[in-house]
Amino acid sequence: MICCGFQVPYEDLEQAARLVVQALHVRERYMAISHQTFPSITSRFLRSVDSGCPHLLDDIQHEDRKTIEGKLKKLNRYSVQ
């Protein structure tokens, strides 16, 4: 396979992809332990990779955006008119 003008063996690309997924799992665990939020789309992707069902990504709902909109509505409610 040619990537960025270089010939890259397919096995190297597979290994790199596995390492990226592994790093995302580590990051997700760290975020949970430190009580921080982890992007829902990334979490959904990891679940689809774990289950072997990439079709889970077809139904995407932007939960993070809804949360931000809810916070903005609360802020607007308290603004001085």
pLDDT at 6 (0 to 100):
73
DSSP 3: E
Is the pLDDT reported for residue 3 higher than 80? no
* Predicted local distance difference test score (pLDDT) of residue 33: 92
pLDDT tens-place string over residues 22-53: 999 999 999 999 999 999 889 988 988 887 66
Q: Are 42 and 29 in contact (CB under 8 A)?
A: no
Crossing angle for the helix pair 63-77 and 40-51, nearest 10 degrees? 160
- What is the Cα–Cα distance from 76 to 70, expressed in whole angstroms? 10
- What per-residue confidence (pLDDT) applies to 5? 72
